[in-house]
Structure 1
Amino acid sequence: MPFASIDELQAALAEHAYIADRSLTTAIFLALRMEKPLLLEGEAGVGKTEIAKTLARLLDRHLIRLQCYEGLDVSTTIYEWNYARQILQIRMLESQGGEAIKSIFSPEFLIKRPLLQAIEESLVRPPILLIDEIDRADAEFEAFLLELLSDWQISIPEIGTVRAANPPIVIITSNRTREIHDALKRRCLFAWVDYPALDKELAIVRARIPDADAHLARQVVAFVHELRRLDLYKLPGVAETLDWLTALVRMDQTALVQDVVEDTLGAILKYQEDIAQVRGPQLAELLRRVQGNG
């Protein structure tokens, strides 16, 4: 365990530009100490995936990412055979009079997918395994994952069983578009990652974009917080705050101006209906509030 205390971990995360509150830091600390997967739920763009990336940098570990989607199967998550290469090998061996069947089912013909990579790498040094947006995958994938998280081994019929010497550090994220099965949750520690308070988001912005004008950064964060009070189809996350501020910095802005805000709404709002709702009188009112509080 590289960190002696929760405070030490929190400080280390901050040094790597990830501002985590006490409860989230505690969940990460316990996941590392107990060697249990950490399930992070919350809205898109609040920094769940970034936790895995930051831990990889912080611990100097390889990050292996499995991006989930509907229809995941063994060939996309564990392994598949390189059929084209196998066919070429068969033809070559037949021309030489050799025996093809045994030789083509060996590790050199195996295409390793993220879960097998994580187990194999753990034999040397456990990597960070990020299972991203598991709510997009099918329930069948969850059922398979239960077995893997329990035993940390994979059986390949033609080769044998590959076991993890030490389990990888596992971060599972969900945007909660559907409920995750209780059986999977029981195998994990859990943390909810919410939209940050204004002061915390301002600290995140300053850590990630230190060259931004301080007045502009405060206005941007305040404006995004005002947007989150509206009845929008998709509220902007921290990722959108950072993207928007970066865009404004590249445009050499030092304060929010209505014309520039209107032109750059696509950096923070991703649906035309939301942009249309915010433009015009609503935008002017939001800017008045932000400038009045600034």
Structure 2
Amino acid sequence: MLAGKIALEDAYNARDRDGLRLADELERIGYLGPEPCVPRAFRAYLELHIEQGPRLEEEGLSVGVVEGIVAISWSRLTLHGVQDHAGPTPMRSRHDALVAAAEVVTGVRRIATELGGDLVTTVGSLVVSPNIVNAIPGRVALSIDMRDPQDATLDRALPLLDRVVQEACEREGVRYELEHYWRVPRTPFDAGVVAAVERAAKASGAGWRRILSGAGHDAQYMAALGPAGMVFVPSRGGRSHCEEEFTPMDDIEHGANTLFLAALDLAGRA
């Protein structure tokens, strides 16, 4: 909201899986305040975060000096087949939405291997209907996430996705709707902030390297409002968004010291 990417009313009206409305829950816990959510002038924005990937740990480093965030594309696909009984319906006459979806899933993975480089592709959500043991799926909705350091790579990948979906649906005789609904270009961080983080990493005595973020962060939006940068610390095994997410305390200390020293530097007090 602060960066103007989401309207305040849209955020307030967002609901979770249980139907609970964000504004109502904020009011319930006493966090629905009167202060306007508007941009204000700032010297710099700094964010400390786990890498959410394996590179720092693999190289035995404690700090990542983040240069920016990769380009990201999100698509949603809905497949419409013919729901029918799993027993009496011959294989020759089936139009199975899940069979087409399975082909799309493998095709999405194939796009990354064929284009190579740093492109990553993921189908992270799959909703099957009616999702019962004795019915041929009549409807499947799924998500497609594509990320690469270069916007041009996503420009090449998206037409390949269009073709994968079209061919899979033609083979199974199902209809589809495909929407490329969200695209964020590569976000470079402010050169002065990145340099300050690098000086801080050196001064802290931590092992460090420059790195790109493969995940989106608040800093991505703050970079549209003013100078922004990030500090990464390692994720054990590259794991995140799971119970096994862990960062050793020594690395946390190096990251916190780097953040502190970079803030002093940017404030003119180093």
Q: Give the TM-score normalised by structure 1.
A: 0.28
Which structure shows the bigger proportion of residues in strand conformation? 2
Which structure shows the bigger proportion of residues in helix conformation? 1
Q: Give the TM-score normalised by structure 2.
A: 0.30
Higher RCO structure, 1 or 2 (CA under 8 Å, sep 6+): 2
